[in-house]
Amino acid sequence: MSEIPSVDMRSIVKTFGPVVANDQVDFTARTGEIHALLGENGAGKSTMMCMLSGVYRPTSGDIFIHGNKVKIKSPKDAMKQGIGMVFQNFRLVQTLTAAENIVLGERSSFWRGPGWMKNKQEEIEAIADRFGLPFPVDRPIWQLSVGEQQRVEIVKTLYRGADIIILDEPTSVLTPGEVEQLFYTLLHMKAEGKSVIMTTHKLKEVMAVSDRISVMRKGRMLHTLDKQETDERELARLMVGKEVAAIRPEASGRKPASGIMLDVKGLDVFADHGRKALDQLELRVQAGEIVGVAGVAGNGQRELAEVLTGLRSWKNGAITFAGGELKNGSVRGAIEAGIAHVPENRMKSGLAGSLGAVDNLLFKSYRSDERSTFGFLRSKSNKVWSQSLVEQFDVKTPDLDTPVRSLSGGNQQKLLFAREINQEPKLMVAVHPTQGLDVGATEGVHKLLHELRDKGSSVLLISEDLDEILQLADRILVIYGGRIVGEVSQTQADREQIGMWMAGMQGEEEAAG
């Protein structure tokens, strides 16, 4: 490795008005290493990487790339310095092909000669093959799997000459097999002398692939450690400032599952673009159990959650809930039946970002006698009630009127859970409930789900995080192509087998056997 670091960020300060996101932070990454950057939500790690990639500009401090002091004022400046960032939410044009996305904005793309695109496709395919990142270069993005779209993003940075590559939560949407393939790619990049900086909350993956690990807390850099000097337990403690206890399915006080709470039979559901998203789907959830639904994004998970919560109608089939028929396409019917919902995107369909805690907590109960009289909200009592929920669920907010979009992801999620659990639901439909959350916030969400289960409620946990499902679920279902293709109890779960089901490598007949 070179003695001069590829990245050297010194005394970095970044403020947003009165908020100090980064406070005198030093960070270095070496040439030919994989460097993991850890920290709770709001710790400042994403802000640091956004400054390195040109999305933000530092308030003060210096950035050196390969020993040279640079000013990075835009992503274009970052790319000129050989810096590329792959964001968790991909920045691809869905209607363009993979190759067109990769060359988009390139100067030569405005002066095309005969065979120009074919030559570019061959060039892109050569890079993809070299780093073990295959995908069909001539297909539109919307026809590619999530894993293939991520490969397009990575190849785009490599195609543009990046030798410092930042990956934001890179494994959050991948199957176990795809994760292994990604790690192979990262090691290949390292072998070629590239610097890889990876932000992630998955400590096992940090320990599996990184060389060094930097931990941030409350806008400051705490430690930078060699992997051999630490372990998962110490990293978790450094991130949250306390010991983090893993909650297992055999939590004390649990009531045994009894009786069918949810029974779905022969369900056919169509997605927005007309494709069949659920195909004769069948599943059952008992009272007092957590059922995990594992699968790669785009196999019907979203539509399943929307059907159960009244946001989408079904074409064929029947849903029995708590002994009665569930109304088709009725949100109010789902709420009145006792179904709670923590959606995949909390700020898009769970919370109103411009409103404060009180209004967000009232969304499902404002019609009740306790919250309103003759159609007029009880302002004073509602504030007292909201304050009690905020304290009960440990939501950190400056005051009840602060717009929830300004809260950290963990506090937004806790506020959402406060509203849903306050309704005393019979079934909680939780979709990616810890996506983007740090270790401490994840621990809190897991505790809430177990408390619901232990009180006799049912939980349908829909997640692409197999570690989370293996840790939480009593029973695991695997969805592929809109059908349940595998089922196994938590005690008999085999990661490799589940990964094969997630990848569609076995049919449901073989899986059932």
Q: Return the higher-pLDDT residue of 360 and 434.
A: 360
The pLDDT assigned to 452 comes to 93
pLDDT at residue 508 is higher than 50: no
Mean per-residue pLDDT of the chain: 87
The pLDDT assigned to 507 comes to 46
Q: Return the higher-pLDDT residue of 99 and 256.
A: 99
Element (DSSP H or E) covering residue 267: strand 260-270
CATH assignment, 259-338+426-438+449-513: 3.40.50.300
pLDDT at residue 153 is higher than 80: yes
Q: Would you tell me how many other CB atoms lie within 10 Å of the CB of residue 205?
A: 18
pLDDT at residue 212 is higher than 70: yes
The pLDDT assigned to 196 comes to 95
Residue written as tokens 């939780």?
430
Residue range 425-451: average pLDDT?
A: 85
Give the residue from 7, 6, 8 showing the smallest Cα distance to 31.
Answer: 6
pLDDT at residue 511 is higher than 70: no
The pLDDT assigned to 499 comes to 78
Residue 250 one-letter amino acid: E
**CA–CA distance from 102 to each of 66, 120, 132 (Å)?**
26, 9, 17
pLDDT at residue 331 is higher than 50: yes
Residue range 257-264: average pLDDT?
A: 86
The pLDDT assigned to 193 comes to 92
For residue 458, list its beta bridge partners. Answer: 427
The pLDDT assigned to 312 comes to 93
pTM of the model: 0.65
Q: 391-398: which pairs have CB atoms within 8 A and are 24 or more residues apart?
A: 392/418, 393/417, 393/418, 393/421, 393/448, 394/444, 395/357, 397/357
Q: How confident is the model at residue 42 (pLDDT cuts 50, 70, 90)?
A: low
334's tokens: 């789902």
pLDDT in tens, 471-503: 899 999 999 889 999 999 989 988 888 878 887
Q: Return the higher-pLDDT residue of 302 and 174.
A: 302
Q: How confident is the model at residue 436 (pLDDT cuts 50, 70, 90)?
A: low
Taking the C-alpha atoms of 219, 224, 227 and 231 in order, what is their torsion angle to the nearest 10 degrees? -50
Among the listed ranges 75-84, 297-306, 446-455, which one has the minimum average pLDDT value?
A: 297-306
What is the rounded distance in angstroms from the CA atom of residue 443 to the CA atom of residue 393? 13
Residue range 15-24: average pLDDT?
A: 87
Q: Which of 6-15, 98-107, 405-414, 434-443 tops mean pLDDT?
A: 6-15
130's tokens: 């070299």
The pLDDT assigned to 348 comes to 81
Structural domain spans, the chain:
7-240, 259-338+426-438+449-513, 355-424
317: left (phi over 0), alpha (psi -120 to 50) or beta: left
The pLDDT assigned to 293 comes to 95
For residue 291, list its beta bridge partners. Answer: 460, 475
Residue range 101-108: average pLDDT?
A: 82
The pLDDT assigned to 466 comes to 81
What is the rounded distance in angstroms from the CA atom of residue 411 to the CA atom of residue 258? 33
3-state secondary structure of 224: strand
The pLDDT assigned to 243 comes to 58
Residue range 367-372: average pLDDT?
A: 91
pLDDT at residue 257 is higher than 80: no
* 7-240 and 259-338+426-438+449-513 share one fold: yes
43's tokens: 């710790």
Task: Write down the CATH superfamily of domain 7-240.
Answer: P-loop containing nucleotide triphosphate hydrolases (3.40.50.300)
pLDDT at residue 330 is higher than 90: yes
Beta pairing, strands 324-325 & 316-321: antiparallel
Q: How far is CA 461 from the centre of its chain?
A: 14
